[in-house]
Structure 1
Amino acid sequence: MPAYAIGHFTSVRPHPDVIAYVERIQATLDPYSGRFLIHGGPVEAMEGECGAELVVIEFPGKDEARAWYNSPGYQEILRLRTRHVDGDAFLIEGVGPDYDPARKGEVLRRSL
């Protein structure tokens, strides 16, 4: 099951540390087969507002995502971002190819 590291960054202050972080992050992802799906860019809000930079990194599974985040290589550069960027980061497991949202609806209906 794929897993994703999601970043929701509300305040990005330009700084040489942030540039160094961006330049070095791919080398920390490679051993865990991590790849960027979204790395900032314009957001078209269809409902509500999105006042944030969004980042999505895909991994083969949650074990790889967690191992990447906790790896010495990533921990070494993490402060380069966190000192100058406010926001949230989290890991989440994706759904498989046979996912049916109607089943989720059934579970929610039973909880009423």
Structure 2
Amino acid sequence: MAAIFILIMPPVKIVIRAGVQAKREILPMTAYVVFTRERTRNASDMEAYVPRARASFADHEFERLAAYGKCETLEGAPIEGAVIFAFPSMEDARAWYDSPEYTEARKHRHLGADYRAFITEGV
């Protein structure tokens, strides 16, 4: 059986200036923070979480790509909902997640529901 290798390259910016040799520059990949809510345990803690979580984004560059829209589980245990945020880089995503504002907010999320959360790089 032949081996198959897939090489994934990060996005590359090529800068070309008149009279200057082209320069390749590796750009940071977009980072996606994904939350899946598996089970709500305490609605009042979730109600306390929402305004705090919203406020935690104030000083961070991000884009909300999905938030508790129609969801269909294809594999594994069903989920109640999902949220996806895009950040310019893994470092930016971690800066938001580890910020004092979100650290305080997520205490309520942990008390209010069972979630899975992860950050992944993408294009």
- Structure 2: gaps (5+ residues): 1-28
TM-score, L = length of structure 2: 0.67
Does structure 2 conserve the Cα–Cα contact (< 8 Å) formed by 1:7 and 1:55? yes
Identical-residue share of aligned pairs (%): 34
Offset, 1:34: 2.1
Matches of 2:51 and 2:65 in 1, distance apart?
A: 17
Pick 1 or 2: higher relative contact order, CA cutoff 8 A, min separation 6: 1
Equivalences, count: 94
Give the structure with the larger helix fraction: 1
Which residue identity is paired with 1:31?
A: D
Counterpart among 21, 24, 36 of residue 8 in structure 1? 36
Secondary structure (helix, strand or coil) at the match of 1:83 reads helix
Give the structure with the larger strand fraction: 2
Matches of 1:48 and 1:77 in 2, distance apart?
A: 30
Stretches (4+) displaced over 4 A: none
Q: Give the CA RMSD over aligned residues.
A: 1.7
Deviation string 1:45-89 (CA, Å, 9 cap, x unpaired) is: 4x4466111110111111110011111010011110011211211
TM-score, L = length of structure 1: 0.73
Matches of 1:93 and 1:73 in 2, distance apart?
A: 23
